[in-house]
Every structure is written in structure tokens, then in C-alpha cells.
Amino acid sequence: MTFSWKPTRREFLGGTAAVAGAAAVGVAPFASAFGASYPDRNLKVIIPTREGGGADRNFRAFSGIWKKYLKTKFEPRFYPGASGRVGYEVYMGKNEPDAYSLIFGNMGPELLNWVVKEPESFKVSDYLYFGRVDTDPGCVFVGRKSKFTSIDQIVAEAKKRTLTVGTSRMAHPASIGILYLGEKTGAKFNLIPLSGGKNTVAGAVTGEVDLSVLTSGTVAAKRKSVRTLLVFDDKNKLGERLDNAPTINDHFGTDLPPMLSSRAFGIHKAAVDKYPDRFAVLQATFKKVFTDPDFKAAVKKAKGNWEYINYGGVEECAAYSKSIMKIGARYKSLLSGKS
Amino acid sequence: MTDVPSNPAPAKSRAEIEKQPRGGELVIPGAAIAFSLYYFSTILDSPWTAQVSAFFIGAVLILLSLVFMVRTWIELQRGKASLRFTSLVNRTDLSSGRLGLFAITLGYILLIDWAGFTITTYFFLFFSMLLLNRGRKAGFAAALSAIMALGGYALFILAFDTRFPEGPFEIFMKAALNNGG
Amino acid sequence: MEADLGFLIGLFGHTLTFWWVIIPTIFLGLVVGAIPGFSAANTIIILLPLTLAMDVEVGLIFMVSLYCSSRMGAGIPAILVNIPGTAGAAATPLDGYPMTKQGRSQQALSMSFVASAFGGLLTTILAIIAMPVLAEVGYYMHSVEMIVVMLFGISLIASIAARDMLKGLIAGFLGLMIGSIGTDVVYATPRGTMGFLELYDGVPLIPALVGLFAVSEAFIIIEKKSIVTDEGREIMAAPSWAATFEGAAIAFRHWWHITWNSIIGLIIGVIPGAGASIASFVAYQQSRTYSKTPHLYGTGHPEGLIAPESANNGVTSGTLIPLLILGIPGGATAAIMLIVLQYHGVNFGPSLFFDQPELAYGVFTAMAITYLLMIFTILPLSRYMSRVTLVSTTYMAPMIIAFTLVGSFVSREYMFDMYLGLVFGVIGYIARRTNYHVAAILIGVILGPLLETYFLRALKKSEGDLMVLFSSSLGNILWLVLIASLLMPMVLGFRRRRAVANTQAGT
């Protein structure tokens, strides 16, 4: 029964992003090497999902370390709605392209949004992702009490009758994964969007749906209530934590590229063109975070999966964007409900 | 709000005065029909999932509103009702300060973005209390408004860190607190 | 999942030593609960740095007491000034506010405190005992069953509308239509948003609540000097403790009512996704249906106040059950608690009861103690809180408008939401002046999107076959209960009329 906190109110409210960054003590004399005074104020980060969700946790862990290299604080702002569209519209429409505001999104589902329907007030090429934080493959799972114990049982059953599949949203890499599996095996799946990871897990556990698909990082965190049966990646990197489930390509001899959700920071294209020096500071400091031992500790502390942390710069992000939009286009009618 | 029909000449037959003024009651059904039709126009070429529930609810709403209009029309025919809007808007709205208060409220929202939370809230409270009190007890209103606005500042901005629009007062206080702390 | 009595009593005693956390938190919870726009969930988020820095035990007790007390706090402005602090208290003013107008706000407050605290306490104890059974509820309540539960809540529109059915239904369906604004849940197509991005995620509830109840009310009350009638002012002229005791006594006399409605809340709370607003509407509706005096509802009837208040506190313990047992939070506050506790290394799921039973059961002992302490800390306040209603409307109306509009900004921090609060204020004002029931509109706005979500989910699962609505046996039982509860008032009314006719014929 001890009061382990004694800071003033201002101090602890000042650093809202304190979850993981509490340990940020040693400040590296890095950003000043670029001479310019950027950044001389807080950086605003638009997050197009709800506060308290997976993106929030991921962001706090990352920004807690990044801030010590960038020597500034991050102010997260949450704009959920319409599968992330609202956040992007707000970022592009209401924030100056001056490199003082960033967007922290989930590249996979959010790029698939644009495949289904173009953004309203800007073009997809008006912003670019420059900092990939992780790559988290989709997976197929059922509740612990489900009668299905292997993916083969599911495919066999789905050839007889259409199985319902819970998904976080229609336009999601994991949804594409299960549609692809159906196409290759002749199994019939009916996607049921359950809005968000929390409800998707709940749907499978309570039996609302026969099975669910979701990013495997979230599923691994719930492994006591669920059983993972298939991973949409080249390798099951989490092994035991995903019940040693096989990968789709190994098990079915297919050649599906990894169906990844991938959290990344994005920025206005106009800001990159106008302030190349600022953009360089962002890129360089961003990369530093991945080799910082505090970051690994922060990810572990937030119950994240270190195996999925995967640095990527502008090129990696662009390559990913291209491939996900290409495969998304193939499934456009199924994802948009229009034939 | 709705247009106020200028009240007709005072000389009116007794029967006319006792008629139910149904004009105001038609505002909600009218708006409901208009809104439903607008809503339908936004989902005409949407997937069925976007349509099914809204078309059902909208259709029932339009139907109910039309039934209400027919009911009112029958009352009109029987001379039991009139189309006056007195139940919604009448002279007491002006004398009670209601329209004035509405104008001040609208001003409050328009100005808060520009002059910040604390100052705008202070002036809103002060002027509306003054209006409702017909200019009396101005000193008390000023003091109460100040306490409320500063209390709101302390609670919402200092204690809960809410991101209200900042004005001169908030910017000054921030600088003062930062220097002091 | 077994815990013997000795263990529980020991834990109870241990939790009691944290009174120094619980009592200040109760007051914080009352304040944040009473301000529309604030809730336990966003307070925990705001205080996250503090909560995370706390010792896990202190943090847990803090969050649980904040959760319980904010729920109770939301009822206070609902009773005193007709402004529910959260959507969960939206059914509270139906009978609470008429009592205030009659000068019985002190009774109403103490009644609601007793109902809340005992409803909460009782369901907490039930939760400890029946945890394994209750955890199963979620396995049976799927989209089809939830559609029927939603319809139970929505059928309240029809009872509210009893005086003029047509206008009541127009108000309710207008609410449902307004509630349909936003992107559809399957393909995220924007609908009826008038081009406002801020409406893509649906109509935010706080501005709707604030506008329909508070702002419109403020514009109405300025006609009179006080919201309390002249007779009511006379009653309140001599303040005494008697009114507090009277209210508490009325509540205790309705102990069965509290029990029944808090259990409704508990069960609805256990279902993931359902919440306090549904529970209080369903409770109010059920209470009215089976009441001997249904005609008194809406006029300041104690049962009409006790039902929603005991139900929404029953929800509080309910939502934590799926969190503890399945690691699936039942609501927003539970979701945030999950994050905080995970940060502290707590692993949820059935194993929690073996690994850290003091934590798993500690949640409920903390809740029980909060409710117990609340009775002693809050009940005396009712005498002073009720004086608020005697403040002249000259000062009250501007303050209501300013602070509730500010509240509509707080929950999402969009300027747009303040405008929306005013727009809803205008809608509410027109509705009040022309005798459309604002509560009916609000029920539509709150429950409409939930009903649509479950409805679409069911239809998507059946690939468009409407018969899916009657495809589950539990669902069919619920349908029958729903139909029975709709027919019951008619049957009872008919029998009462016939009885009256018989007596008259006999004399």
C-alpha cells in the first residue's frame, strides 16, 4: 500500500504518451546534428482508430522512444470512423503540410479502403508512408470451445455449407486471405464484419461466427480463449503463441503473398517536397528507435510481439502499398458489396 | 426556426380562438419527411446492407408523418384546428428573452473558437444572465459569471487537460504557469 | 474458480484498508459522472499516467470505484435538472425530474442512491457467486437474440407515447432515422451525413443527449422563476433530514423491485456490446409493464426511478465478468481497464482465478466496498444537492447551456459537436413545445444504430434471409416474451376496465 507517485499534476499530464516511454531518461545528442531547429514544438499525430485500440498501444510504445531522439513530445489525436477514412480526411484536410503533423495508420486495411473507394478530398498519392513499425500477418482462429481443431476440418465443412467468418472490417488483408483460401479450395466463406479486433475475437469465442480472421498479434494476446488454425505469412513467427498453426502456402501449396497489417507513420507529400531537411530528421531519428534496447523492453512491456517489429523506410512502404493495392483490386467487388 | 406568422388582428370570433393551433405540431413531421427523403437520396446506389434498415425506418416515419398530416387536415375541415404556430413561437418568446438567449448562445459557439473558452464563457454567462434579469443585479451576474468561467477553466483545462480552443486568456495563463513551474 | 468464504472475507477486509483511495475516488466519480461528456472511461484515459504509475492493486481499486461512482453520479443531474450525465442515465429523468418539479428532489436523490447502491451491491455479490454461470450468457446471446433485446428497449417508445401514440411513434422513428446517420457497418458507405466528416462515425450521443434534454430544457424553464412548482417550493422551504429518510424508506420498501431490475442490468451487462442505456430502458419498460400502477409512470413515480437506477448499476458488475473470465471487455470502461491491467502484467482469462484470485475477486470486493461506502458518503449529500433546484432559472439556464455545450465538446474534442448540441437543442425545443416526447427521440438515437448493427449482422450471416430472425430457440422464446410484454398492458387494462364496469354494474 504505497503511493509510488509523487509528481505534480502538470508533470504527469504533460506526458500522456508515458505508457512505454517512462524509461526515457538518456537523451541522445542526435537531432541537433542536423543544425536546423526542427522540431521546435510538439508533433501532432493523427490516429484514425479509437483510443485504447491496438494502434494506440503500438503508438505509445514507439513514440515513447522516438521522442528522445527527436527531442520533442508527441500529441496523439484520435479520429475513428468509417474504417479509418475520417482520420485520413482530417489529416489531409485540416493539418498544414509542415512536418509538424503525422498520421499513424495501419497500411493494409487503410490502403484497401482506397481500393474500394477513392478518398474524398485528396488523392492517395498526396501522402506517403515513410516509417513502418511492424508487419503483422493475418490468421484464422476459432474459440477454444469450437468443434474445429484444424484448418482441414474447416475447409471440409465449408465445402458442404457456407461458414460465417468474423472479420474486423471487410477491407482488411486478413479478409482477403480467407477469400483467397476459399477460391483455392472451393470452400465457401461468408465474411461478417464485426468492427474492431475486440469484437472479432468475441465473435469467435462466443460462437456468433464459425471462425474469425484477424491480425495475429492481437490473436496471440488472447491465446487462452482462442485457437489459431492458419497463418497468412511465409512462416509462423510466433510458433507456440499461435498454436504452431501452419502457414497457408505450406499447407495448401498456394503462393499468396503475406497478408500483412502494417502500422506505419505517414506524412503529407507536400511537406516532404517543401521541407526535405525536416523529413530527413524524421527518417533518421525514426530508424534509430529500432536499435534502442529500451524499445524492445517497451514492446515487451506493452505485451507486443517483438518478432513482428520490422523497420521499413519509404521504399519498403511503397513496395508494400503497391502489392496490397494490386491484390485488393482483384477482390474489389467482394470487399465493396458491389458487383 | 419557423417563421412567425404575424398575429392577425385582435378582433376574432370565439370559435377561432379555441381552435387548436396545429401549425407548430406539423414542423416535426414535415422535417421528418424532408430528412428521410434526403437520407434516401444518399443511399440510392449503395450496397443493400446500407439500405435495408434505413428504407424500412424511413418508410414507416414518412407513413406516420403523413397519417398525422391527414389527421390534422381532418381537424381543419371540421373547424377544430387552425394552422397557426402559436404553440411553437409567440410573443412571450420575445418578452421572456428566449429569442435573445438563442442569439447569445449562437454567438457563444461562434466566438469560442476565436476568443477561447474562458473569456467567451464569461461573456456568454454574463450577458445571458443580464438579459434574463432584464438588466438588474449586474454586479452579481458579473461575479457569478467570473467564478463559473474560472471554475470551468480550472476543471476542464487545468485539471482535465481538455483541448478547448485557446484564446488570449488561456495563452497568457499557459505562459504564466510555465514560467512559474 | 473456487474461492472459500474465509478467503473472500479476508479479501474484503484487505480491500477495506484502501478506504483512503475509495472515498476520494467516489467524489471524483460523482463529479465526472454528473458532467455530460465525461465518463469513467475518459477519466481513466485522462488520468492514465497516474493510473499506470500506481501500484496494480491501488490502480484497480481506483478504476473500479471510479466506475461505480460515476454511474451513480450520472443520475444526479438527470433528477435535478433533467440532464442525464451519460446515456446510461437516459431513463432516469422520466420519473426523477417530475419529482424535482414537485419539490421532492431530496427524496428522489436518496431513492436513487439507495437503489443504485443496493442494486450495485446485490449484483456484485451475485456476480461473485454466479460467475461461472453468467460467463456462459455471452455464448448464447448472438445477433438474433440481441435484436429482440433491443426491441424490448425500443418498445419503451410506445409506452412513453401512450398519451398520443401517433406523435410518440413519429418522435421515436425520427430518432431511429437520426440514429441511422453515419457509415453502414458492413461496407462503410457514408449515409445521410450532409457531407460532415464528423458524422461518419454516427451521431455522437453526448451532443444528442445534451441538446435534447439540457439545452432545450434551459430554453423552456426561463419562462418561470424556478423549475420547482410553487407548491414544491413550499414543501422545500423547510429543509430537513426527513425527506432523505423518506426517500430511502420508499426505496427499501421496493427491495424486490431493486433486486429484479438490478438482475436485468447484470444479465444485459454480461453481454458484450450491450450496455447501461439498453439495460435502463429495458428495466423501465419491464417495470412499467408489470406494475400495478402503470399510469403513474412519467409523473414522478418511485418505481419509474428505481428501475433504471438499479439496472444501470447492475450493468457495472456485469460488464466486468466477460473481461475477467474471457478477457473480452463488455464495454468501453472495461476495455480501458484491460489495457491498464495488461500493462501491469495481469493476464486475463479463466486462469486469472487460479493465478491471481486476489485480483480476480478483488475487483468485486472493491466494487462491493465502494457501494457500501457510497451509501454513507452520498446519502447525506442529497439534502444539500437538492437545493440546487431552488436556484433561480435566470442563473440556472445560462449555466446549463454553457456547461452542457462544453460537455458536448469534451467527449470528442470537435467544435462541430457544440454546434450539433445546439441543433439537437432546437429539435428538442420544437419537440417540447409541440408535445413530441424528447425521450422517445433519444431512445431512437441511442438504440437505432445498435439495432441496425445486430440486424445487419444477422442478415449478412443468413445472406439476406429474413427467417434468420426466428432461427434460434432462445431467440424465439425472447420473441414470445416480447410479444407478451407488449400485449400485457392491453390485457391488464381491459381486465381493469371490465372489473370497474362490473363493480359499477353491481352497485
Mean pLDDT within C93-119: 91
Q: Are A228 and A245 in contact (CB under 8 A)?
A: yes
A336 touches chain C (CB under 8 A): yes
| Beta-carbon count within 10 A of C238 CB | 8
Give me the residue label for grid cell 393551433: B21
Cell triple for B149: 468561467
- CA C473 vs. chain centroid, Å, equals 29
Cell triple for A210: 464459425
Q: How far is C197 from chain B (nearest CA, A)?
A: 15
Q: Each residue of C118-160: pLDDT tens digit?
A: 999 999 999 888 877 776 777 787 889 888 888 877 877 776 6
Whole-number pLDDT of residue B85 = 78
Q: Which of residues 259-318 of A touch C (CB under 8 A)?
A: 301-303
Q: Are C265 and A191 in contact (CB under 8 A)?
A: no
- Choice among C15-19, C34-38, C144-148, C309-313 with the minimum mean pLDDT: C34-38
Q: Which of C363, C354, C365, C367 is nearest to C3 (CA)?
A: C354
Q: Is A75 helix (H, G, I), strand (E, B) or coil?
A: strand
Higher pLDDT, A37 or C112: C112
Please answer yes or no on whether B132 and C393 come within 8 Å at the CB atom: yes
**Domain-embedded: residue C480:** no
Torsion of CA C252, C256, C262, C266, to 10 degrees: 140
A334 touches chain C (CB under 8 A): no
Element at A323 (helix H, strand E): helix A314-330
Q: Are A175 and A238 in contact (CB under 8 A)?
A: no
Q: Which chain C residues are closer than 8 Å to A22 by Cβ?
A: 52-53
Q: Is B73 helix (H, G, I), strand (E, B) or coil?
A: helix
Give me the residue label for grid cell 495508420: A105
Q: Which chain B residues are closer than 8 Å to C167 by Cβ?
A: 25, 68
**Domain-embedded: residue C494:** no
State the Cα angle at A139 between A138 and A142, rounded to 5°. Answer: 145
C-beta pairs of B139-144 under 8 Å, 24+ apart in sequence: B141/C395, B144/C395
Q: Each residue of C28-49: pLDDT tens digit?
A: 888 878 877 667 776 776 676 6
Q: Are A101 and A91 in contact (CB under 8 A)?
A: yes
Nearest CA in chain B to A77: B163
What is the block-wise mean pLDDT of chain B (181 residues), using blocks of 10 residues?
A: 40 55 88 95 85 91 94 88 77 79 93 90 93 87 92 81 82 80 46
Domains of chain A in start order, with CATH, are 15-22+30-135+262-332 (3.40.190.150), 138-259 (3.40.190.10)
Q: What are phi and psi of A230, to 5 degrees?
A: -160, 145
Please answer yes or no on whether B177 and A8 come within 8 Å at the CB atom: no
Q: Are C304 and C162 in contact (CB under 8 A)?
A: no
Number of domains in chain C: 1
DSSP one-letter code for B164: P
Domain of residue C35 covers: 5-227+243-471
Distance CA C68, CA C369 (A): 10
Please answer yes or no on whether A81 and C142 come within 8 Å at the CB atom: no
B77 touches chain C (CB under 8 A): no
Neighbours of chain C (3+ CB pairs under 8 A): A, B
Q: Are A260 and A135 in contact (CB under 8 A)?
A: yes
**Domain-embedded: residue C482:** no
Strands A136-143 and A226-231, bridge-based pairing? antiparallel
Q: Is A131 helix (H, G, I), strand (E, B) or coil?
A: strand
| Beta-carbon count within 10 A of A239 CB | 12
Q: Each residue of C166-179: pLDDT tens digit?
A: 888 899 999 999 99
- Cα distances (angstroms) measured from residue A9 to each of A5, A87, B176, C43, C56: 10, 30, 16, 14, 20
Nearest CA in chain C to A5: C53
Cis peptide before A39 (omega within 30 of 0): yes
Distance CA C154, CA C451 (A): 9
Q: CB contacts < 8 Å between A and C, how many?
A: 130
Q: Per-residue confidence at A13, pLDDT binned at 50, 70, 90?
A: very low
Distance CA A287, CA A283 (A): 6
Of the residues A224, A334, A335, the best mutation for testing chain C's interface (the one with the most C CB atoms within 10 Å of its CB) is A224
Q: Is A255 helix (H, G, I), strand (E, B) or coil?
A: coil
Whole-number pLDDT of residue A16 = 36
Percent of all residues in chain C with a pLDDT value above 90, rounded to a whole number: 21
Buried b (16+ CB within 10 A) or exposed e, A138-157: bbbbbbbebebeebeebbeb
Q: CB contacts < 8 Å between A and B, how many?
A: 12
Q: Each residue of C423-464: pLDDT tens digit?
A: 999 999 999 888 888 888 988 888 888 888 889 899 989 988
**Domain-embedded: residue C94:** yes
Distance CA C448, CA C151 (A): 10
Per the document, the length of chain C is 507
Q: Are A325 and A111 in contact (CB under 8 A)?
A: yes
Burial (Cβ within 10 Å: 0-12, 13-18, ≥19) of residue C129: exposed
- Cα distances (angstroms) measured from residue B68 to each of B129, C44, C61, C256: 39, 47, 54, 41
Percent of all residues in chain A with a pLDDT value above 70, rounded to a whole number: 88
Amino acid at C161: A
Q: Which of C386, C371, C385 is nearest to C23 (CA)?
A: C371
Q: Are A71 and A31 in contact (CB under 8 A)?
A: yes
Q: Each residue of A149-202: pLDDT tens digit?
A: 999 999 999 999 999 999 988 889 999 999 999 999 999 999 999 887 878 988
Neighbours of chain B (3+ CB pairs under 8 A): A, C
Q: Is A97 helix (H, G, I), strand (E, B) or coil?
A: coil
Q: Which chain A residues are closer than 8 Å to C183 by Cβ?
A: 81-83, 85
- Domain positions in chain B are 14-89, 92-180
Residues 6+ apart with CB under 8 A from C493: none
